[in-house]
Each structure stands twice: as structure tokens, then as C-alpha cells.
Chains A and B, each alone.
Chain A
Amino acid sequence: MSAALLRFANPLALLSGMIFGLGLLVSGMNNPAKVRAFLDIFGDWGPELIAVMGSAVTIFGVVFWLSKRRVKPVCAAEFHQPTLKTIDARLLTGAAMFGIGWGLVGLCPGPALVNILSLDPDVLLFIAALLMGNRLAHYLVGPAK
């Protein structure tokens, strides 16, 4: 790989983050009320967010499987594919806890972060607690593998 392409790695990450954020905003995924309506399948269900998940998974999935023909990414030395395969109590407990917090307020990490420049004090409070939860888990349960 030419060294020239490596220079584009960080700008590319910036661009990807921005497109990701715009996707969250355009789809309305950043709005907690809409997310909670999506989770409210036994009540006043708002199924629209299925389309967000469906299109995002499909597009990423197709590109991911096509990328298997490549030895390495365009602007980096290697693909960093997640290696963990185990389905254990740690995974299930973590996912279950996350789901409870997600249902309580309607925010998950991406939408919370994309809303940060609204400077809404409630959003900032949620993010402060999220960061604290991340560190509590790190120190109490141990580093992620």
C-alpha cells in the first residue's frame, strides 16, 4: 500500500462519523420518543425504525461480504474483524442491562452523542451517566476482551 493512502485514514473516519450522524438525524433515530414508540410493540407501536435497521444492516452486510475479496482495507494495513465468538453470561447480562436503559429513556450511545451539541442539559446528564457506567463496568467487572 502506498503511504499516500494512509494519510486519508483519519479524514475518512471523520467523514464516516459525519455520515453516520446524519443518518441518525435524518431517520429520527436520535429522537428518544420515536425510539420508545418503536419498542412499544404492545402499545402504540411505531414500526418505522425497522426500515432504519433493515437498510443499514443490508448495505453494511453487502459491502462487508464483498470486502472478503480484499486482503486489506484501502487506507489501512489490515481489517480488524471482531474475534469474540462466545455467547456467555457477560454478553447476555450486558445486553439485557443496555436494553433496560434504552427502554427507560430511548437513547443508545450513538444518538446520545449525535445530540450532544444541542447542549440540552438532559442529554448531557445522560451522557455523563453513560460515561460513568462505562468506567464503572471497566473497573468493577474488568476490561472488555
Chain B
Amino acid sequence: MTYELIGGSLIGAAAALLWLGIGRISGMTGVVSSLFQWRDKSRHWAFWFLAGLVLALPVFRISGGELTIDMTSNQLLLVLAGLLVGFGTYIGNGCTSGHGVCGMGRLSLRSMVATITFMASGIATVALMNLAGGAQ
């Protein structure tokens, strides 16, 4: 549980830093959408944030961290899941970071409803896949 607590604290501290520093919510959905709105100067912070996020992996590895990505290699499943995540987070205005961490921290009812909804549909999806016997 130690690594989870340290990691979660880093995530919370990063979100707190962004809020106190520049008054922005660290939501990954908004960051992704900003890629398509690069003309909008008010969203340029997201490019800096994204650069830091992407560079975290080499920093983690240089520091001796071990990378584990244990995931399905079913390409149909990957594309379907990616489309659902991209589409759903866009129309729902957020994901695990914007709604789950920041919205819950702000005690936003809207974000709590969103978080409960995606947690529930995620749990149901995993349960149904296990029932169908084709988890991977």
C-alpha cells in the first residue's frame, strides 16, 4: 500500500501545485482537447503540463523505477476502448483526474455523480467480461 499512498500523494500534490500556481484544474480530458485548440493561448499551459507528464516516464526509469504495462494486445478491443474513452470523456467533460481527483476534492456534486457513474460502468464491464470468460 506504501507505493499507492506515495503515488497518490504525488498526484494530489501535482494537482494542488497547478491550482495554487496557475489556477487550473489538472484534468487529462481537458489537456487532450487542448491539443486540438492550440491556437487558443489560454490553453497553452496544457502543452507544458503534457510535456511534463510524458517526460515523467524517462525520469522514472533513470531513477531506477520499473515500468510494467500489462495489457490486452487485442487490437479490436484497444481501438474500441480508446474510442469509448475519448468520446465519453469529451462529452462528460472529464475523467479520473478532472472529475475523480479534482472534482471530488472540490466536493462538486456533478463530479461525484460522474465518478460514481464511470466507476460503476467500469466495474460492470470487467464483471461482464469475466462472466463471458474472455477477459483478455
Contact = CB atoms under 8 A, between A and B. Distances in A.
Contacts of A16: 14-15, 17-18, 21, 26, 49, 52
B18 A131 contact: no
Nearest to B30: A144
Contacts of A70: 20
A53 B8 contact: yes
Interface of B: 1, 3-26, 28-29, 31-33, 35-36, 44-46, 48-60, 65, 67-73, 75, 77-93, 95-97, 99-110, 113-115, 117-127, 129-130, 135
Interface string A123-145: 10111111111111110010011
A67 B25 CA distance: 13
B52 A13 contact: yes
Contacts, number: 476
Interface of A: 8-34, 36, 39-43, 48-61, 63-64, 67, 70, 72-82, 84-87, 90-110, 112-118, 120, 122-123, 125-138, 141, 144-145
A131 B2 CA distance: 33
Given A32-B70, A57-B105, A24 B110 contact: no
A106 B71 contact: yes
Nearest to B106: A64
Given A48-B1, A122-B73, A110 B78 contact: no
A86 B10 CA distance: 30
A133 to B, nearest CB: 2
Contacts of B89: 94, 98, 108-109, 134
Given A15-B17, A25-B7, A104-B84, 10 more contacts: A10-B44, A20-B15, A57-B105, A61-B107, A73-B19, A80-B25, A91-B91, A94-B90, A101-B86, A133-B82
Contacts of B49: 13-14, 16-17, 20
Contacts of B93: 82, 84, 91, 94, 144-145
